[in-house]
Structure 1
């Protein structure tokens, strides 16, 4: 019996299927990591913070160490999808790369590159755009939210085609696995649609294998970490603890974190989200169940909770911060890692574009 036949709405049934498949893939990675190629990355719009670490960076390091081929894109072109300029982009690109290296991404195992340095990747946008409709793009949740929020400001063409650009990111290296949160599943589904439509329209005259594999989702297992003000953690809101911050800076931020007036500490995300968020953060850093931490704190109050969180965060990130300081002192090495990653990504992208041109009978 299908999930929809069991009474689940289409969206819930789709998420349930994606979750089930993600569990199957996770189990297979432990045995057959060489079957998978991952594409993941970040926009260089600010400095990475602990939400990024526990939400994605930690998992990237784990997957790469298991032997999964990993590509990490610093999506510099995507900065201007919803902004009037690039800002201090060079500094932010190098900051992201420094964080990647500090948390343990090994450039011998992972290819890190930038959008703007890989022309063949961006050239894939042209044939891909011919495979989707304006209506399909406007139904994409990210595009739709931007359209709803723009007011009188026109949405840029780059914002409208943002999901297609993401598909090009995934498919230039023929990634068959993308770590995502559930809110990003519609983006991945469009990439799957483009892969299928390209094969249906062009295919390969001499092979049965499609040009592009249909990428699958590896759903994030980590829960959401709120900002220190109890709202969604965001670079733009200034409610984050950045990976590059010192122990003293971290302590000052946590001291200002929002709690409540009840001295008895409990882990109750629904009714006490701010307190529970801090308890959860301590649990992530200590490798412990947040419920047991709350029970141990008891009547320690907000002060006791913040003291524990400060110690846990600073102890956990001390080696990462020490490594980051070493990397900051050697900018030449960081630049060389990016240059080597860009070169590898270009070689892969050129090969893929050559296959696309051949399939489209445009190899003159």
Structure 2
């Protein structure tokens, strides 16, 4: 059973009662940071990450015993509008590549100690074209949410999330535009290699879809404009929160996937970190609006969870320093 097992209406997402961070554990971790053999604050973001993990693990000394990485894959009806330079068959082919261990995410998970699973979501049944009507029915959206939630390991110490789906950079731009407003063009980037004409087409398609579904907010927006992998990411984020598991989101598409949760209630993403600053131009606008600072900036825009898996290494380093460094008293060093 998962938190979403009995979900029958998207409206129920806003009514979920979910754990909060433990302020006492975070405060204890902060106290420890200030006693370690370094000037207070000198490890910068590493200190913040250690306190973040302490709060969600409810422990002054948080550890990563198991890091789980999930990549969700889906296909999109919006591809009928010609917004993608590659055929949808690439989604199936890349899923096979993930499973064979040949993608970037496989190498990054191995290098940073994450167990990777790939979840393909009805790839033979693309969603509907959101310029013509809703991308998914409520039932389809709930099914994908439940698939994402069911994939989360309750024993994971941290969850890394990524996606694969030809056409989903257009979906991401639509979700971002619908959530945060502004012109469609500012949310559209190159995706999987669109040229300037392709980007202009994507902007027109996004504008059409967002206008058509302008009344949809929150989880209804997810059904109207999203895809199965976006819904699965939302489901995984909610399941992780139910188990107090911190989440590392990947870049633009993954962050946009949870925009409907943010639109429902920003606090639903309190346990989420953003792994890296995507090279997609809309990502900075979105993380600024969400008031989340990416851990890394590597000029990456691959997707797959690659930036989140890379950020896991930084998170591990933060906890190694937090747990392994001596205090001034232990080291016999003056100044503590």
Bigger radius of gyration: 1
Q: Which of the two has greater helix per residue?
A: 1
TM value normalised by structure 1? 0.28
TM-score (norm 2): 0.29
Higher relative contact order (CA 8 A, sep 6+): 2
